[in-house]
Amino acid sequence: MTIETEHTVEPLDELKDALQEGNKQQLETLCNTLSPSETARAVLRLDSEDQTQLLTLLEPKDAAEVITTIPEEEAAHFIEELPTDQAAPIIEELRSNHQADLLNYLTESKAEQILESLSTENASEIKQLMTYPEDTAGSLMITEYLAYPEHFNVDDVLADLRQQGETYADYAIQYAYVISKAGKLMGVLRLRDLLLSVKTSPIEKLMISNPLCLKDHAHLNELQDFFNQYAFLGVPVVSDDNVLVGIVSRFAVEEAVKQKANKIFLKVSGIVGGEEYRSMSLFSRSSRRLSWLSVNIVLNIVAASVIAFYQDTLEKAITLAVFLPIISDMSGCSGNQAVAVSMRELSLGLVRPKELWRVFSKEAAIGIVNGIVLGCLLGGVALLWKGNPYLGLVVGGALATNTLLAVCLGGSIPLVLRRLKVDPALASGPLLTTITDMCGFFFVLSFATIVLSKISG
Alpha-carbon dihedral angle through residues 211, 215, 220, 225, given to the nearest 10 degrees: -30
DSSP label of 164: T
For 229-258, the DSSP string reads HS--SEEEEE-TT-BEEEEEEHHHHHHHHH
Task: Provide, rounded to whole angstroms, the least separation between the CB of residue 3 and its own copies.
Answer: 6
Residues 6+ apart with CB under 8 A from 150: 178, 179, 180, 186, 187, 203, 204
Q: Which of 433, 436, 439, 448 forms a contact with its own copies (CB under 8 A)?
A: 433
Distance CA 266, CA 260 (A): 10
- What residues between 52 and 81 interact with its own copies by CB under 8 A? 69, 71
CA pair distance 28, 25, nearest whole angstrom: 5
Residue pair 424/413 in contact by the 8 Å Cβ criterion? yes
- Would you count residue 219 as binding its own copies (CB under 8 A)? no
Which of residues 278, 384, 421, 453 is near its own copies by CB under 8 A? 278
**DSSP per-residue letters across 429-446:** HHHHHHHHHHHHHHHHHH
- Number of Cβ within a 10 Å radius of residue 67: 24
How many angstroms separate the CA atoms of 414 and 184, rounded?
Answer: 41
Give the residue, chosen from 21, 85, 119, 297, that forms a contact with its own copies under the rule CB under 8 A: 297
CB atoms within 10 A of CB 334: 27
Does 244 bind its own copies (CB under 8 A)? Our answer is no
Give the footprint of its own copies on residues 174-203 (CB under 8 A).
Answer: 174, 191-192, 194-196
Q: Which amino acid, one-letter code, is at 176?
A: A
Residue number, 17 or 312, with CB nearest to its own copies: 312
CB of 117 to its own copies, least distance (A): 27
Measured distance CA(355)–CA(350) in Å, rounded: 10
Which residue, 105 or 323, is less far from its own copies as judged by CB?
323
By the rule CB under 8 A, 265 interacts with its own copies: yes
Residues in the interface with its own copies (CB under 8 A) total 120
315 makes contact with its own copies (CB under 8 A): yes
Residue from 292, 388, 389, 446 touching its own copies (CB under 8 A): that is: 292
Residue (127 or 219) nearer to its own copies, CB: 219
User: Looking at 145-153, 175-183, 311-319, 387-395, which segment touches its own copies (CB under 8 A)?
Assistant: 311-319
From the list 11-19, 53-61, 211-219, 414-422, the region that binds its own copies by CB under 8 A is 211-219
217 binds its own copies (CB under 8 A): no
Nearer to its own copies, 91 or 320 (CB): 320
Task: Name the DSSP class of 179.
Answer: E
Using alpha carbons only, how large is the chain's radius of gyration in Å?
A: 30
Our finding on whether 83 is near its own copies (CB under 8 A) is no
Q: Does 325 bind its own copies (CB under 8 A)?
A: yes
Q: Is 420 in the site for its own copies (CB under 8 A)?
A: no
Closest approach, Cβ 306 to its own copies, in A, equals 9
Asked if 101 is part of the footprint of its own copies (rule: CB under 8 A), the reply reads: no
- Identify which range of 51-59, 75-83, 171-179, 414-422 contacts its own copies by CB under 8 A: 171-179
Hey, which residues does 249 pair with through a beta bridge?
234
Please give the residues from 32 up to 51 whose contact with its own copies meets the rule CB under 8 A: 35-38, 40-41, 44
CA distance 100 to 122: 11
Tell me if 311 contacts its own copies by CB under 8 A: yes
Query: 77 vs 289, which CB is nearer to its own copies?
Result: 289
Candidate residues 132, 323, 443, 447; the one interacting with its own copies per rule CB under 8 A: 323
Q: Least distance in Å: CB of 72 to its own copies?
A: 12
Of 11-19, 104-112, 142-150, 350-358, the segment contacting its own copies by CB under 8 A is 350-358
User: What does the angle CA 428 – CA 433 – CA 437 come to, to the nearest 5 degrees?
Assistant: 160
Alpha-carbon torsion angle 222, 226, 229, 230, nearest 10 = 180
Contacts of 141 (CB under 8 A, 6+ apart): 96, 97, 129, 216, 237, 245, 246, 247, 248, 252
Beta strands in 91-160 (DSSP E): 147-149
- CB under 8 A: which stretch of 18-26, 56-64, 200-208, 318-326 binds its own copies? 318-326
Query: CA nearest 310: which of 445, 193, 123, 440?
Result: 445
Using CB under 8 A, pick the residue from 16, 77, 184, 215 that binds its own copies.
Answer: 215
Q: Which is nearer to its own copies, 115 or 391 (CB)?
A: 391
Task: Find the part of the chain contacting its own copies (CB under 8 A) among 309-317, 390-398, 416-424, 447-455.
Answer: 309-317
Query: Whole-number minimum distance, CB 454 to its own copies, in Å?
Result: 19
Q: Give the Cα separation of 445 and 183 in Å (integer).
A: 71
Query: Between 29 and 277, whose beta carbon lies closer to its own copies?
Result: 277
